[in-house]
């Protein structure tokens, strides 16, 4: 498979995944149609209150994680990044994130909220860390120049999503709309990266591939 073909497929996955982070941001932080789950202190986990609502709220996030993780795992081929050292760690984290996305989808399928939440939260952390690792690889002399800036910023933004739940729900230090904005910005970043990949093709065809 040529560089242009890989770039198009990676771009498509990144665009679709990035767009799905947007409704996830709204459903996760704003719950526009009311709560779908309720945390039970006696059980120490969430129970589903409304099954259709739980599926509607949950599916975009799990699919967003899966698609952007797949895009990240294929990014080394699209940008011709060296898969060693930090780059290898980034690829491993991307594959872990994809596996956790599948677990999150399984949680939706069996209607078990903790499995969905755990897969999504830990998977999002792996996705962000992997993006950061591959951004570091892209910044090296053998990397892909300006792509590194996008990926480093995207990875750092993704890491901000980790403390969102406790800061919004437990501590109340971050308003819900701000939490939704952070997640949406993460999704828009992936969409922009995907569009750039899909439009520019292989890195050798654009200034993004000329290196430093």
The answer to whether 174 and 167 have CB atoms below 8 angstroms apart is yes
Reported confidence tier of residue 203, pLDDT bands at 50, 70, 90: very low
CATH for 19: 1.20.1070
Residue 212 has pLDDT above 70, yes or no: no
Averaged pLDDT of the chain = 85
Condensed to tens digits (0 to 9), the pLDDT of residues 76-119 reads 777 777 667 888 899 999 999 999 999 999 999 999 999 999 99
Report the C-alpha gap between 157 and 159 in whole angstroms. Answer: 5
Query: Which domain range does residue 116 map to?
Result: 3-209
In sequence order, what are the beta bridge partners of 196? none
Report the C-alpha gap between 96 and 117 in whole angstroms. Answer: 16
Condensed to tens digits (0 to 9), the pLDDT of residues 142-199 reads 445 556 778 889 999 999 888 888 898 888 889 999 999 999 999 999 999 899 888 7
pTM of the predicted model as reported, rounded to 2 decimal places: 0.87
Long-range contacts of 174-179 (CB under 8 A, 24+ apart): 176/29, 176/30, 177/29, 177/30, 179/25, 179/28, 179/29
Considering its fold, how many domains does the chain have in total? 1
């Amino acid at each position: 498979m040529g560089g242009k073909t890989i770039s198009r497929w990676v771009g498509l996955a990144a665009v679709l995944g990035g767009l799905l982070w947007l409704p996830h941001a709204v459903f996760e932080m704003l719950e526009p149609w009311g709560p779908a789950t309720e945390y039970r202190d006696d059980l120490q986990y969430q129970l589903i209150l409304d099954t259709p609502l739980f599926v509607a709220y949950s599916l975009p996030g799990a699919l967003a994680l899966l698609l952007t993780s797949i895009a990240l795992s294929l990014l080394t081929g699209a940008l011709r990044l060296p898969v060693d050292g930090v780059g290898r760690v980034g690829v491993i984290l991307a594959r872990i994130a994809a596996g956790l996305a599948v677990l999150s989808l399984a949680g939706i399928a069996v209607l078990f909220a903790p499995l969905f939440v755990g897969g999504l939260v830990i998977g999002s952390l792996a996705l962000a860390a992997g993006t950061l690792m591959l951004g570091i690889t892209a910044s090296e002399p053998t990397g892909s120049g300006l792509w590194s800036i996008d990926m480093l910023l995207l990875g750092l933004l993704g890491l901000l999503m980790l403390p969102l739940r406790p800061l919004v729900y437990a501590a109340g230090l971050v308003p819900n709309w701000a939490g939704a904005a952070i997640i949406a910005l993460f999704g828009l970043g992936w969409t922009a990266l995907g569009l750039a990949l899909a439009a520019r093709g292989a890195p050798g065809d654009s200034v993004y591939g000329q290196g430093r």
